[in-house]
């Protein structure tokens, strides 16, 4: 099939671009090599909406970060996803005071509102668990937190609800220029044609760019390891706590999440393998040490899981966003990529219209609003009873740790983009994200997925190809 626009990569940046362009009377398709959206850096990052003080003055990162942080409250409200303006502190010891002052000045030049430097007494009053040896901090009141994969899922879902197609398990193997566009072939031999190609392939954006003849840059993965603490630790800090940044990134942060956990990380290790998401003893030791420099008495015994994400670090030091021959390339979209995502989508929209001669009309029935998930556990008892009367499945708890119901899981299976595996259910509902990490609910989730998709339970996977959970029955049907 031929589309007017094809987006390669269904991370949060690709998803936000798709959502923005789905308003037009043009055909649009998103290609994703994995079994679900939000499977790269989007599912494994710090979940921070950065204020924009750290990016180099005059850079595309600075411009799009500040703009993105302004757009994010509206975008999250329209998409029905969680957003919390919890502020951030960049903390320092006395010998690092000059660095805090430099960051403050850079933030002012970048146009970040409300920045100020706080001294030791106020710092302790704001965050009682802060390391008492810290003497000052930059307070960024516009910093916030979101759930990155929830945002991506909602953006792609909204694009699909407005007519966009999504093709999963479509790993691009070749892109060929044709008389009126491009022929895109998958590793399986499937073909999609496009008038305009948008390359938003994360750590693989250089590989995709090379297929279009536009690659004078490199993208390498930078491994970032994280730890997640139990929800009983979620209020250990109110704000996101950073230390003064280095050339490798913003350092080890301590931050609450919108879902109530405490997040520690990331490390920063440059690696070669673009698929290496392993965690390491060395990474954990770094998190223990550096997080404790910022916050005292962190209850590390409450860690319930750990994970690793890969940042797409470009060789230019800035976001690469450019076009040639109806191909738009986005590369090196590392931090603050999540924060910038709404602004990047806006930037691409303007690039298409102002630089590429793109002409289109907004659909009469375009709807930017996405119905939020129920978040059943957070509803009032009256509202819960009302929903259960309409659908008893919302009265059956599947995930005891997070209080997730069968109704919520079924809803996730049948809502764009549809969850087809166990991890997809986890990202949409949080079933399996609590203390037991799916030890109780995973078998039930497998059964629900099999039932709703009309398949045998042996066909249900954890995350798609190569992740079979059950190979065969060991007992009879009875």
Are the C-beta atoms of 20 and 349 separated by less than 8 Å?
A: yes
Q: Measured in whole angstroms, how far is the alpha carbon of residue 76 from the centre of its chain? A: 13
Which run of H or of E encompasses 350? helix 337-355
Contact 451, 393 (CB under 8 A): no
> Residue 186 burial by CB count (10 A; 0-12/13-18/19+): exposed, middle or buried?
middle
- Asked if residues 246 and 335 have their Cβ atoms less than 8 Å apart, the reply is no
Task: Please report where in the chains the tokens 């600075």 appear, as a residue.
Answer: 62
| DSSP-derived secondary structure letter, 124 | H
The answer for 237, left when phi > 0, alpha when psi is -120 to 50, beta otherwise, is beta
- Among the options 50, 220, 243, 374, which is catalytic? 50
- Helix (H), strand (E) at residue 48: strand 48-49
Q: How far apart are CA 55 and CA 286, in angstroms?
A: 24
Distance (Å, whole) CA 403 – CA 406: 10
Residue 50 appears among annotated catalytic residues: yes
Element (H, E) at 119: strand 116-119
Copy the structure tokens of residue 114: 């409300």
225 neighbors 308 (Cβ within 8 angstroms):
yes
SS (H, E, C) 158-204: HHHHCCCEEECCCCEEEEEEECCEEEEEECCCCEEEEEEEEECCHHH
Q: How far is CA 308 from CA 99, 158, 345, 395, 457, in A?
A: 28, 28, 26, 35, 29
DSSP 251: -
| Residues annotated as part of the active site | 50
């Amino acid at each position: 099939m031929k589309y007017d626009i094809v987006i390669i990569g269904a991370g949060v940046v690709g998803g936000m671009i798709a959502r923005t362009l789905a308003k037009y009377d043009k055909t649009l398709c998103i290609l994703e090599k994995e079994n679900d959206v939000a499977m790269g850096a989007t599912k494994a990052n710090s979940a921070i909406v950065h204020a924009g003080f750290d990016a180099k003055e005059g850079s595309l990162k600075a411009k799009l970060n500040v703009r993105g942080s302004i757009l994010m409250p509206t975008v999250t409200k329209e998409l029905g996803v969680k957003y919390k303006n919890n502020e951030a502190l960049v903390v320092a010891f006395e010998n690092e005071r000059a660095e805090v002052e430099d960051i403050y000045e850079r933030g002012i030049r970048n146009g970040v509102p409300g920045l100020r430097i706080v001294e030791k007494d106020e710092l302790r009053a704001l965050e009682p668990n802060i390391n008492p040896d810290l003497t000052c901090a930059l307070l960024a009141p516009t910093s916030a937190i979101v759930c990155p994969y929830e945002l991506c899922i909602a953006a792609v879902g909204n694009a699909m609800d407005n007519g966009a197609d999504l093709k999963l398990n479509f790993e691009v193997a070749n892109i060929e220029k044709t008389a009126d566009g491009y022929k895109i072939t998958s590793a399986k031999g499937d073909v999609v044609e496009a008038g305009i190609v948008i390359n938003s392939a994360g750590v693989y954006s250089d590989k995709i760019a090379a297929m279009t003849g536009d690659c004078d840059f490199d993208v390498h993965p930078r491994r970032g390891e994280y730890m997640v603490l139990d929800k009983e630790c979620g209020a250990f800090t109110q704000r996101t706590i950073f230390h003064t940044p280095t050339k490798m990134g913003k350092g080890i942060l301590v931050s609450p999440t919108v879902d109530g956990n405490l997040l520690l990380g990331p490390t920063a290790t440059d690696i070669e393998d673009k698929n290496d998401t392993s965690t390491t003893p060395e990474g954990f030791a770094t998190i223990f040490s550096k997080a404790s420099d910022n916050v005292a008495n962190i209850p590390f015994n409450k860690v319930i899981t750990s994970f690793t994400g890969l940042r797409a670090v470009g060789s230019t030091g800035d976001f690469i966003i450019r076009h040639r021959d109806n191909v738009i390339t986005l590369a090196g979209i590392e931090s603050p990529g999540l924060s910038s995502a709404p602004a990047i989508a806006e930037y691409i929209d303007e690039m298409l219209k102002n630089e590429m001669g793109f002409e289109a009309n907004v659909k009469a029935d375009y709807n930017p609003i996405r119905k939020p998930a129920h978040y059943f556990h957070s509803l009032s008892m009256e509202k819960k009873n009302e929903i259960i009367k309409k659908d008893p499945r919302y009265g059956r708890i599947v995930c005891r740790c997070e209080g997730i119901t069968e109704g919520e899981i079924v809803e996730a299976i049948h809502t764009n983009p549809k969850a087809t595996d166990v991890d997809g259910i986890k990202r949409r509902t949080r079933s399996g994200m609590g203390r037991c990490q799916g030890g109780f609910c995973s078998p039930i989730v497998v059964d629900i997925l099999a039932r709703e998709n009309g398949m045998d339970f042996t066909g249900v996977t954890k995350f798609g190809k190569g992740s079979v959970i059950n190979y065969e029955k060991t007992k009879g049907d009875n």
